[in-house]
């Protein structure tokens, strides 16, 4: 993925549907920002830092394409902060939603009733 493609992906994951919205939010002229997104002009570290911060992506991912797009620790903190700010009656509902979202990633315990498979001899 090229730099300008990562910028588009970062914008979209941050919830900005259009480059116009993103340019306004970042405070960059639309012509400058659209050039960064369409690849007709690159951008330097200083702009990359602004974009990464505004779009909540890792700077290294945006500029170099290394590692994950987002810092998972900050996402977890964001979830916990949101959870803590909810009234107690909504916390239970929020927890149920999070459990459902996490189900596909849960480690399944092995079935202890079934004996382990025997190893084949060579």
Q: How confident is the model at residue 120 (pLDDT cuts 50, 70, 90)?
A: low
Backbone torsions φ then ψ of 72, nearest 5 degrees? -65, -35
CATH topology of domain 3-64: 434 Repressor (Amino-terminal Domain) (1.10.260)
User: pLDDT at residue 111 above 70?
Assistant: no
Please tell me the pTM assigned to this model: 0.65
Q: What is the mean pLDDT of residues 73-85?
A: 84
SS3 85: helix
Q: pLDDT tens-digit profile of 63-76?
A: 999 999 988 887 78
Asked if 92 and 36 count as a contact pair (C-beta separation under 8 A), the reply is no
User: pLDDT at residue 121 above 80?
Assistant: no
């Amino acid at each position: 993925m090229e730099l300008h493609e990562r910028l588009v992906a970062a914008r979209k994951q941050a919830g900005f549907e259009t480059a116009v919205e993103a340019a306004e939010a970042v405070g960059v002229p639309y012509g400058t920002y659209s050039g960064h997104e369409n690849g007709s002009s690159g951008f330097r570290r200083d702009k990359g830092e602004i974009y990464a911060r505004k779009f909540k992506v890792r700077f290294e991912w945006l500029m170099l394409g290394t590692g994950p797009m987002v810092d998972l620790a900050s996402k977890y903190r964001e979830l916990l902060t949101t959870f803590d700010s909810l009234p107690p009656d909504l916390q239970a509902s929020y927890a149920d939603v999070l459990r459902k979202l996490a189900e596909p990633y849960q480690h399944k315990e092995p079935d202890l009733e079934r004996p382990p498979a025997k190893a084949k001899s060579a």
